[in-house]
Amino acid sequence: MKTQLFFYSVVASILLTGLGNSFSPQIHANQDEQLSYSGSINEFNLAVKVIPNTPVVGPIQFQIFPSYISDNSPVEKAIIEVLVRKDEEAYMSRAVNTPKSLDTYIANLTLHQAGTWESEIRISTEPDVEHSIFFPVEITGSNIHSENLVPGSSAGIFFMFIFGVIVVFTIFLSFRYRKKTT
């Protein structure tokens, strides 16, 4: 009986965890997206895509494709930072590449305000040598500034709900399948 209870608890936990992950917002890259910026600076060519193609308030992704001007080979070892500024607000994210895609650097940011943001891409392949490009990004949609909304609070509430369901389900199963003494 205890093994059955354990088995059901594990199965319920796995199902609820999978269900919880299905609600998380994700940005999906599309190869048909248009370039937001393409140009060169010193020894680098830079192509930048902003996803979604028409950025809206919320999460956005910058995909940076650096290459050397001399032979058009991809820059595989660089430090790339993305900065966006509007009025007194500014956000920064480090763009990283993966072993599967050494030539593509990706940075994710969440913008809370619509309008024209100034984007800066900083690239460095040597210590203390940094190059920057600037271009505007137009963000549409409704602003999500609210003093009543604490960022991440919905995730905490969802976690507490799932945790409560697991606890109640476990207690229910333990009472349902425990040995009855006569």
What are the boundaries of each domain within the chain?
A: 2-23+148-177, 35-139
Which residues fall within 8 angstroms of residue 149, CB to CB, at 6 or more apart?
none
Q: Hey, what are 16's tokens?
A: 């609820």
d(Cα 96, Cα 77) in Å, to the nearest integer? 10
Greater confidence (155 vs 170) lies with 170
pLDDT in tens, 22-62: 444 444 444 455 777 888 888 888 899 998 888 888 899 99
What SS3 class is residue 114? coil
What dotted CATH number matches 35-139? Answer: 2.60.40.10
pLDDT above 70 as % of the chain: 75
**Per residue in 41-51, is it b (16+ CB within 10 Å) or e — as a string?**
eeebbbebbbb
d(Cα 158, Cα 40) in Å, to the nearest integer? 46
Is residue 51 a contact partner of residue 27, using CB atoms and an 8 Å limit? yes
pLDDT in tens, 111-151: 888 899 999 999 988 888 888 889 999 988 876 654 444 55
Task: Give just the sign of the alpha carbon dihedral 166, 171, 176, 180.
Answer: positive
